[in-house]
Amino acid sequence: MAEPIISFKDYGFQYLAQASPTLYHINLDIYPGEKVLIAGASGSGKSTVGSCINGLIPYAYPGESTGSLLVGGKDPARESIFNLSQIVGTVLQDTDGQFIGLTVGEDIAFALENDCVPQDEMKETVQEVAKLVDIDHHLEYAPHELSGGQKQRVSLAGVMVEKVQALLFDEPLANLDPAAGRATIELIDRIQERTGAAVIIIEHRLEDVLWRRVDRIVLMDEGRIVADMQAKAFLSGRMLLEHGIREPLYLTALRYAGVPVTEAMEPQHVGSLRLSEAQKENVRGWYRASGGYTEEKKEKPVLLDVENLTFGYTPERTNLRDVSFSVREGDMVSIVGKNGAGKSTLAKLICGFEKPTAGRICLSGRDISGDTIKERAQRIGYVMQNPNQMISRPLIWEEVELALLSGNMSAEERKERVEETLKICGLYPFRKWPVSALSFGQKKRVTIAGILVQRPQMIILDEPTAGQDYHHYTEIMEFLKSLNAQGYTIVMITHDMHLMLEYTPRAIVFSEGELLADTTAAHVLNDPELVERANLKETSLYTLSMACGVDNPQEFTKRFIACEEAYRKREEG
Partner 1 sequence: MARIAILNYIKRPSPVHELTGTTKLIFFIVWSVASMVTFDTRILLCMLAIGAVIFRISRIRIRDISVVLGLAAVFLLLNNIFIYLFTPEYGVELYESRTVLLAGVGRYTVTAQQLFYHLNVTLKVICVVPVALLFIACTDPSEFAASLARIGVSYRAGYAVSLALRYIPDVQREYTNISQAQQARGIELSGKDKFFTRLKNSVAILLPLVMSSLNRIETVSNAMELRGFGKEKKRTWYTQRSLKRNDWLTIGFAAVILVIDLIVTFWDGSRYYNPFL
Contact footprint for partner 1 (CB under 8 A): 54-56, 59-60, 80-82, 85-86, 90, 92, 94, 96-103, 105-106, 109-119, 122-123, 126, 143-144, 158-159, 313-314, 348, 351, 353, 373-374, 376-377, 381-382, 384, 386, 388-393, 402-407, 450-451, 454
Minimum Å gap between C-beta 88 and partner 1 is 9
Chain centre distance of CA 276: 34
Size (the chain), residues: 573
Cross-strand bridge partners of residue 514: 511
* The amino acid at 219: L
CA pair distance 3, 311, nearest whole angstrom: 59
Minimum Å gap between C-beta 320 and partner 1 is 15
If the CB atoms of residues 386 and 543 are measured against partner 1, the closer one turns out to be 386
Contact 466/498 with Cβ under 8 angstroms? no
If the CB atoms of residues 282 and 447 are measured against partner 1, the closer one turns out to be 447
Minimum Å gap between C-beta 400 and partner 1 is 10
Minimum Å gap between C-beta 512 and partner 1 is 18
If the CB atoms of residues 130 and 530 are measured against partner 1, the closer one turns out to be 130
Cross-strand bridge partners of residue 493: 335, 462
CA pair distance 23, 426, nearest whole angstrom: 32
CA pair distance 231, 234, nearest whole angstrom: 5
If the CB atoms of residues 80 and 326 are measured against partner 1, the closer one turns out to be 80
If the CB atoms of residues 160 and 517 are measured against partner 1, the closer one turns out to be 160
Contact 363/355 with Cβ under 8 angstroms? no
Minimum Å gap between C-beta 393 and partner 1 is 8
Give the ranges where 453-518 is alpha helix by DSSP (H).
Answer: 470-485, 497-503
Rounded to 10 deg, the angle between the 540-547 and 277-289 helix axes is: 110
If the CB atoms of residues 211 and 382 are measured against partner 1, the closer one turns out to be 382
If the CB atoms of residues 48 and 236 are measured against partner 1, the closer one turns out to be 48
CA angle 440, 455, 357 (to 5 degrees): 90
Minimum Å gap between C-beta 126 and partner 1 is 7
* The amino acid at 5: I
If the CB atoms of residues 100 and 485 are measured against partner 1, the closer one turns out to be 100
Contact 203/561 with Cβ under 8 angstroms? no
CA pair distance 238, 291, nearest whole angstrom: 27
Cβ-based neighbours of 565, under 8 Å, separated by 6 or more: 502
Q: Give the H or E element holding residue 218.
A: strand 216-221
Minimum Å gap between C-beta 310 and partner 1 is 16
Minimum Å gap between C-beta 217 and partner 1 is 25
Q: What is the DSSP secondary structure assignment for residue 461, as one 8-state letter?
A: E
CA angle 67, 71, 72 (to 5 degrees): 140
DSSP assignments along 270-296, one per residue: TTT----HHHHHHHHHHHHHT------
Cross-strand bridge partners of residue 169: 91, 201
If the CB atoms of residues 386 and 474 are measured against partner 1, the closer one turns out to be 386
If the CB atoms of residues 86 and 474 are measured against partner 1, the closer one turns out to be 86
If the CB atoms of residues 240 and 461 are measured against partner 1, the closer one turns out to be 461
If the CB atoms of residues 189 and 354 are measured against partner 1, the closer one turns out to be 354
Minimum Å gap between C-beta 467 and partner 1 is 13
Cα separation of the two ends of the chain: 51
Minimum Å gap between C-beta 96 and partner 1 is 7
Largest CA distance in the chain: 75
Contact 267/273 with Cβ under 8 angstroms? yes
Minimum Å gap between C-beta 449 and partner 1 is 11
CA pair distance 482, 424, nearest whole angstrom: 9
Cross-strand bridge partners of residue 12: 66
Phi, psi of 345 (to 5 degrees): -60, -40
Beta strands in 31-129 (DSSP E): 35-40, 63-71, 88-91
Minimum Å gap between C-beta 80 and partner 1 is 8
Residue 62, preceding bond cis, omega within 30 degrees? no
CA-only gyration radius of the chain, Å = 25
Minimum Å gap between C-beta 487 and partner 1 is 21
Minimum Å gap between C-beta 390 and partner 1 is 6
Compute, in degrees rounded to 10, the torsion defined by CA atoms 30, 35, 40, 44.
30
If the CB atoms of residues 90 and 290 are measured against partner 1, the closer one turns out to be 90
If the CB atoms of residues 82 and 293 are measured against partner 1, the closer one turns out to be 82
CA pair distance 459, 491, nearest whole angstrom: 6
